[in-house]
Amino acid sequence: MDLKFFEEEVYWKATLKLSNISSPDTLSGSLLYMVCNATMCLPPTDIYYKLAWSDIKPFSELPDLCPPSKHICKELPSHNKAGDDKDDLDSSSDEKEDEGLLLIFLMGFGLGLAALFTPCVFPLIPMTVSFFTKTSKTKSAGIKNAIIYGFFIIFIYTALGLSLTAIFGVDIMNVISTDPYFNVGLFLLLVIFGLSFLGYFEIALPQSWANKADAASDKGGLIGIFFMAATLAIVSFSCTGPLIGGALAGAATGSYAAPTAVMLGFSIALALPFMFFSAFPGYLNSLPTAGGWLNTVKVVLGLVEIGFAFKFLSNADMVLQLGLLPREIFIGIWIILSLVLAVYLFGFIRFPHDSKGAKIGATRKVLGMIFLLFGGYMVPGLWGGPVNLIAGFPPPVFYSIYAHDNGYVDAHYTDYDEAMTAAIESGKPLLLDFTGWACVNCRKMEEQVWPDERVAKILNEDVILVSLYVDDRTKIPESQWKIEEYGGKEFHIRTIGKKWSYLQASQFNRNAQPYYVLINHDGDQIGGSAGYNPDAEVFLEYLNDALTKF
């Protein structure tokens, strides 16, 4: 993908075909766009226009809007009128992007390893290695062909990640992470994948695809090896497909490189055993024989995938403020799934593809005990207790059925004007918490940093805390709709979230969440600002430093 960064201004030309023109005198419509840098994006912005036909010129009469002397630079300078934000996320944006992509790669690698231990893939390892060692004239030729085979596996799966970016655009992951309807779709998709792993039905690509790929693999040479890799991808799809879906959903970070990174990690993990055992076939004898344990792996993965699916349903529920999945219900679902996993691993229940009378080994019992303990660990979360191991996944503590007095800090205000009035009356500074309902890192700060006794004391006693949700889609009264201009652009403010995202962008030139900034009663920033950092000491240092300047 060819990415360019432009200074000051840039022009694009597009040819549009109009149909069903409603007005003979004017042309009206809207443009939706989003501006991004390497690690984050400003919220989508609408531009509404209305043009008279008499003012519209033929394309041939337009001047050249793209002079060749336009400057293209490697990075844009930061213009923060609020001052020096040494603690802000932008101070290390490149490092954070690299770190995020590395974690996504490792997640894909882990899921690729999990795919190896499924009934669709594991039995193919000795079969494929045996094929290369027996059909090659020399040992070195067999190793070479197996390595080529592994690289073709990596190529096929990585091409899938690149294709997703090419088809849906560079912001597809950002859409996944914030759009409630997309999140509902992902929830349904992952539940379907999970149920298929449990054995209630099978998701597979057409058999004709596998037959054609297998026939093409008989040609030999590089083409034959490529189609052998393609055959593996097709015939194993019923096992790898659900994991791929989970991997791509889990890579919802807003980075255009996320789909490629996760599929690269997945494919490398999938290909390595084929390459390794072809080079050292003697180690094949150390592999366990195929059997019922492979289906056990599928069932465990299926139940885990169903559990993670509820995170996406929770995102949609919080953004739309439906109240259908409060914290207690979410944690309760995870507890139930953990207990089901434990009971299954102990051998008390079976799923469709499990063998009757199968012996329960020590490994299953140990895993069952782990899931049983994990379920017990989450029980205090039902009444507001700390569950830091899963921080960021359940809804926030205040998004619950019952009120809890458990040491968590709850922002008493979600409206800027109301909070400022309270700050003036109390004589305290106002701490702005730019957050989001679907923001995982925001939940981690609220559940891991805010409860620290020293931090909680400041938030509860020394400042007025207001949480401004930039993804709140609640419509504001039409009488309050307005168009604001910032940076030469118009912002059509029609929702609560749009109002707060415009406030963050226009006043502090920042768009990432969470973002914390202390202001005085005139609305001026005090000290620096803070972004996501799960270290309570760092956040405490920021608060103390800012308060000394009030």
pLDDT at 301: 84
Residue 468 has pLDDT above 80, yes or no: yes
More confident residue, 63 or 141: 141
* C-alpha closest to that of 1 among 151, 155, 156, 163: 163
Comparing 52 with 153, which gets the higher pLDDT? 153
pLDDT of residue 393: 82
CA–CA distance, 239 with 118 (Å, rounded to integer): 6
Q: Position of tokens 């679902």?
A: 333
Residue 151 tokens read as: 């690289």
Question: Would you call 445 helix, strand, or coil by DSSP?
Answer: helix
Confidence of residue 189 (pLDDT cuts 50, 70, 90): confident
The share of the chain scoring above pLDDT 90, in percent, equals: 19
Q: What is the full DSSP assignment across 511-541?
A: --SSEEEEE-TTS-EEEEEE-----HHHHHH
| pLDDT for 190 beyond 70 | yes
Predicted confidence band of residue 67 (pLDDT cuts 50, 70, 90):
very low
Give yes or no for residue 346 having a pLDDT over 90: yes
CA distance 226 to 96: 36
pLDDT at 337 over 90: yes
More confident call, 486 vs 38:
486
CB 305 within 8 A of CB 190: yes
Which residues, including other chains, have CB under 8 Å from residue 289's CB and lie 6 or more apart? none
Amino acid at 292: G
pLDDT at site 471: 80
What is the Cα–Cα distance from 328 to 401, expressed in whole angstroms?
7
Q: Which of 73-77, 127-131, 507-511 has the lowest mean pLDDT?
A: 73-77
Give 270-280 pLDDT, tens digit per residue: 888 888 887 77
Q: Specify burial of residue 140 (Cβ count, 10 A radius: 0-12, 13-18, 19+).
A: exposed
pLDDT of residue 331 exceeding 50, the answer is yes
Which of the residue ranges 82-86, 205-209, 285-289, 341-345 has the most confident prediction, judged by mean pLDDT? Answer: 341-345
Measured distance CA(471)–CA(496) in Å, rounded: 8
Taking Cα atoms as reference points, which of 57, 52, 50 lies closest to residue 25?
52
Instruction: Write out the two tokens for 326.
Output: 């409060």
Number of other residues whose CB lies within 10 A of the CB of residue 78: 13
For residues 407 and 453, what is the distance between their CA atoms, to the nearest angstrom? 8
Q: Is the pLDDT of residue 522 over 80?
A: yes
Q: What is the DSSP letter of 475?
A: B
Residue of higher predicted confidence among 20 and 534: 534
Q: Compute CA 301 distance to the chain's CA centroid, rounded to the nearest angstrom.
A: 19
Indicate the helix (H) or strand (E) that contains 402. none
Separation of alpha carbons 165 and 259, rounded Å: 7
- Rounded to the nearest 10°, the torsion over CA 81, 86, 87, 91 is 90
CA 260 from chain centre, in angstroms, equals 13
* Residue 171, pLDDT score: 44
Residue 246 has pLDDT above 60, yes or no: yes
Helical (H) or strand (E) element with 485? strand 482-486
Q: What are phi and psi of 119, to 5 degrees?
A: -60, -20
The pLDDT assigned to 14 comes to 61
Mean pLDDT over all residues of the chain?
76
Alpha carbons 408 and 382: distance in angstroms, whole number: 14
pTM: 0.55
**CA–CA distance, 38 with 254 (Å, rounded to integer):** 10
Lowest mean pLDDT among 22-36, 373-387, 495-509: 22-36
Q: Three-state SS for 491?
A: strand
Q: Check whether 513 has a pLDDT greater than 90.
A: no
User: Could you tell me which residues come within 8 angstroms of residue 252 by beta carbon, excluding any fewer than 6 positions away?
Assistant: 173, 174, 176, 177, 258
Q: What share of the chain is helix, strand, coil (3-state, %, to 5)?
A: 55, 10, 35
pLDDT of amino acid 21:
62
Per-residue pLDDT at 38: 46
What's the pLDDT at 94? 46
Q: What is the reported pLDDT for 79?
A: 34
Whether omega for the bond prior to residue 123 falls within 30 degrees of 0, making it cis, is no
